[in-house]
């Protein structure tokens, strides 16, 4: 047999077949069609499409805002996870449930809510001397909101499993709070932080619904790549949309590959120390 079960549990062949079919239906076949439509363009047309100044500006803006959103959530997401795990307070379960709200809300609702709040005439936007909506700052804000839960949910279980005795032992030996966090807690969190960052970055680069309402989609200013892909589809330029999507997919794949390699390195290093 080409595939042999490594477990005594029955049903490996059926389970593997269903999993492979689902993976093919949801992931492999759509990607194959994307490559198929792009291949019909030819290399010169493909390069002309992805090297257009408007496309390059959108790619740069998308990657930059996604990167800044992930950095922001690394700080505040870790702090939120720390508070939820290490402190008991009234309303803790409510706060814990609110973390998942961006998962539950339709992205269009999130975008409309942010635009209502941070537009120049909005409830919060009117108090700022600078514009938030219809600028790259609005894109960053939307991406922070939609990618926030990924960091929290990646870090939270690691903090729950982290033994407080390790921190107490370090404190007994004279280590300060910052040293304890840097030498004891942070090394344990790095693999989870990388996992959460990778998922948050992947979500941010492909986000459309929440961004389009607050960004304004002004070319060369606040136009992200998913907006360009949508615009090409509306013009029935399926090949052009596929080319841009495939190029962005390759960039995201490379970045996620780097995340995974780095996570594997730190996990192996941490395991060796243990």
- Predicted confidence (pLDDT) per residue in 257-270, tens digit: 888 888 787 777 66
DSSP for 96-163, written as a single string: HHHHTHHHHS-HHHHHHHHHHHHSTTSTTGGG-SS--TTSHHHHHHHHHHHHHHHHHHHHHHHHHHS-
Q: How far apart are the first and last CA of the chain?
A: 38
Counting residues of the chain whose pLDDT is more than 70, the rounded percentage is: 94
Mean pLDDT across 156-161: 90
Helical pair 225-234 and 238-273, crossing angle rounded to 10 deg: 150
More confident residue, 173 or 63: 63
Is 213 within 8 Å of 112 (Cβ atoms)? yes
Domain boundaries in the chain?
27-273
Q: How confident is the model at residue 274 (pLDDT cuts 50, 70, 90)?
A: very low
* Phi and psi angles of residue 218, each rounded to the nearest 5 degrees, phi first: -85, 120
Which residues touch 271 (CB under 8 Å, ≥6 apart)?
Answer: none
For residues 16 and 52, give the distance between their C-alpha atoms in angstroms, rounded to a whole number: 43
Residue with tokens 């390790």: 166
Closest by CA to 96, choosing from 74, 80, 78, is 80
For residues 57 and 80, give the distance between their C-alpha atoms in angstroms, rounded to a whole number: 34
Neighbours of 270 (CB within 10 A): 13
Give the angle subtended at the CA of 255 by the CAs of 252 and 258, to the nearest 5°.
Answer: 150
Q: How confident is the model at residue 10 (pLDDT cuts 50, 70, 90)?
A: low
pLDDT reported for residue 272: 46
Could you say which of 3.40.50.300, 3.60.20.10, 1.20.140.10, 1.10.3720.10 is the CATH number of the domain covering 27-273? 1.10.3720.10
For residues 241 and 160, give the distance between their C-alpha atoms in angstroms, rounded to a whole number: 44
Phi-psi region of 135 (alpha: psi -120 to 50; beta: other; left: phi over 0): beta
- Predicted confidence (pLDDT) per residue in 196-235, tens digit: 998 899 889 888 888 988 887 788 888 888 889 888 888 8
Residue 3 has pLDDT above 60, yes or no: no
For residues 38 and 249, give the distance between their C-alpha atoms in angstroms, rounded to a whole number: 13
Burial class (CB in 10 A: 0-12, 13-18, 19+), 110: buried
Instruction: At 28, list the tokens.
Output: 């492999």
The pTM of this model reads 0.83
Question: CA dist 180 to 82, 136, 186, 196, Å?
Answer: 14, 37, 9, 22
- Predicted confidence (pLDDT) per residue in 66-79, tens digit: 999 999 999 999 99
Half-sphere CA count of 273, side-chain side, radius 13 A: 9
């Amino acid at each position: 047999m080409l595939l042999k079960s490594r477990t005594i549990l029955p049903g490996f062949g059926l389970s593997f077949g269903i999993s492979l079919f689902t993976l093919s239906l949801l992931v492999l076949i759509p990607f194959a069609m994307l490559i198929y439509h792009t291949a019909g363009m030819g290399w010169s047309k493909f390069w002309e499409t992805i090297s257009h100044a408007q496309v390059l500006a959108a790619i740069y803006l998308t990657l930059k805002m996604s990167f800044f959103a992930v950095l922001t959530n690394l700080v505040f997401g870790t702090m939120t996870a720390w508070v939820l795990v290490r402190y008991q307070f009234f309303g803790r379960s409510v706060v814990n449930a609110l973390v998942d709200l961006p998962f539950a809300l339709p992205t269009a609702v999130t975008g409309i809510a942010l635009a209502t709040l941070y537009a120049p005439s909005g409830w919060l936007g009117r108090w700022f001397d600078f514009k938030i909506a219809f600028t790259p700052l609005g894109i960053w804000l939307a991406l922070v909101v939609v990618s926030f839960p990924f960091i929290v949910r990646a870090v939270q279980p690691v903090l729950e499993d982290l033994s407080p005795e390790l921190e107490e032992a370090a404190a007994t030996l004279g280590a300060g709070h910052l040293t304890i966090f840097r030498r004891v807690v942070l090394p344990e969190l790095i693999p989870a932080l990388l996992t959460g960052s990778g998922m948050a970055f992947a979500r941010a680069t492909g986000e459309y619904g929440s961004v389009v309402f607050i960004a304004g989609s002004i070319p060369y200013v606040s136009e992200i790549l998913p907006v360009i892909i949508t615009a090409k589809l509306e013009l029935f330029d399926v090949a052009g949309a596929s080319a841009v999507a495939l190029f962005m997919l390759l960039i995201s794949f490379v970045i996620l590959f780097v995340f995974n390699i780095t996570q594997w390195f730190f996990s192996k290093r941490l395991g060796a120390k243990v």
